[in-house]
Amino acid sequence: METTEAEAMLRGQADIWKYMFGFADSMALKCAVELRIADIIHSHAPTDHMITLSQIASHLIAPSPDITCLTRIMRLLVRRNIFAVHHPSEGGEPVYGLTYSSRWLLHDSEMSLAPMIVMENHPSLMAPWHYFSQCVKEEGPWAFKKAHGLEIWDFASENPGFNKLFNDGMACTARIVMKAILTEYGHGFDGVGSLVDVGGGTGSAVADIVQAYPNIKGFNFDLPHVVATAPAYHGVSHVGGDMFEDHIPNADAVFMKWIMHDWNDSDCIKIMKNCRKAIPERGGKIMIVDIVLEPSGDGVLDDTRLVLDLVMIAHASGGKERTENEWEKILKEGGFPRYKIIKIPALLSIIEAYPV
């Protein structure tokens, strides 16, 4: 019994050490992205798709790279299965290759998370995490404003470099989610003649949908200064306005991707009520693409979804990720008594909700 308790205490100690230095994984990953290590392996490895550290170093944009430092960082990333390593039996220099994980680090790949890694680990976005205890002790403002004195959107508007970093991060995740939607949810657009993307930014999401389903007339609805810079897309009309006001364009269906998590419950209910007025009572629906938390879930992305709820504390102003019960509550209060959740191979799910 004493041995079992001692083993459990050792395991507990090991867990605390692991979580204490959890940031090291993020920083090593960011380092690999900044040095474009995955890109170097992908572009310069021979037919066996593996390359030595000396060869990697020779392609770094650096006058005198420190191979020893690179070796130590790669050792951890191999341990985390980000990269693979092979030690030749004849004792030659180890060679490194890509894994399924490091393929997501390729900058030129359509399905890349590299911009998101750089964004989330930027000092301006890391600083708010140090204010969590203050967020618990005192109500408002939220962590980002505590750290910077501004909400994230105002901060971005005053810092063009950060704004580009943020937009690039959002764009890469949008491409991943849209591919999953168009691949796994095609039936959801059957019978839809018109679709309005509420909070659609510059319109790329609704443009992708219209391109895949040319029979759909698309509307991209966002704030006037946002749609003013939106490019022209065939089959898409840009409409400026405020989703909190009562003039969302009428359509058969409303599409909202990663919008509702930015707002508190009362704001979400207000948005839903305005969406409800924009669609027909019979046959109309809203498609909410957002995270559905499963706190006890054992799915491959369930842990990350819980972490993203903490990201909302760090970076948003009142927003949060929600469980199904929390979604059901605001859907009913917003005028949508029926709904179903459709899972797709992504962090987000699709919540289809109907006014009757």
Annotated catalytic sites, by residue?
Answer: 261
Half-sphere exposure of 326 (CA within 13 A, CB side): 17
Residue among 318, 321, 316, 314 nearest 133 (CA): 314
Length of the chain as a residue count = 356
**Angle, helices 265-278/324-333, rounded to nearest 10 degrees:** 50
Q: CA–CA separation, 55 vs 40, rounded Å?
A: 9
| Cβ-proximal residues to 15 (8 Å cutoff; 6+ apart), any chain | none
Judged by DSSP in three states, 197 sits in strand
Q: CA–CA separation, 150 vs 56, rounded Å?
A: 41
Instruction: Dump the DSSP string for 22-54.
Output: HHHHHHHHHHHHHHTHHHHHHHH--TT-EEEHH
Judged by DSSP in three states, 131 sits in helix
Exposure pattern of 104-119 as b/e (b: 16+ CB <10 Å)?
bbbeebeebbbbbbbb
